Amino acid sequence: MIVLNLSCDQGHHFEGWFTSRDAFGEQVTRGMVNCTHCQSVAVTALPSGPYVHAMRRERHSHGGDRHHSGENAGDESLVQMPTPDVAKQLFASLAMMARTAENVGINFPEEARRIHYNEAPARTIRGIASGDETRELLEEGIMVLPALVPPERETH
């Protein structure tokens, strides 16, 4: 998964989660990405810090130089642990979403598809899906957010 900073033709800024940059491009071409503020489908990706890296060289034991840039620069350049305040805010947001979403349990993949294909009323749902089911939903262009949110009474 990658998180892209997006902008619409009306100047609104928002985030989108995609399996890859190619998946983003394909979904934009098909009109499947819209602004969260005005619903415009004229959406572009903005430059994003984690994906803009200067070239660097690493010396290998074999004597040669190895060049890295962009997404191939290595995971260590992309991963940052959230500060306690950010982690607390993230958990609070996820917990709020969990409280307000309809729990469809193990029927999550089927219900997400029904909503996506306008076979069921649009609403926020949560439930259970395997890793494979989640990947299949994302490949179909169905936006899902895998998250583990413990029940509120179990938090410290």
Give 72-96 as a DSSP string: GG-GGGT--PPPHHHHHHHHHHHHH
pLDDT at 99: 81
Q: What's the predicted TM-score (pTM) here? A: 0.43
Say how many Å lie between the first and final Cα of the chain, rounded: 29
The strand pairing partners of 6, in sequence order, are: 14, 45
Per-residue confidence band for 81, with pLDDT thresholds at 50, 70 and 90: low
Evaluate if residue 137 carries a pLDDT over 90: yes
User: Is the pLDDT at 110 greater than 90, yes or no?
Assistant: yes
Is the model's pLDDT at 115 over the cut of 90? yes
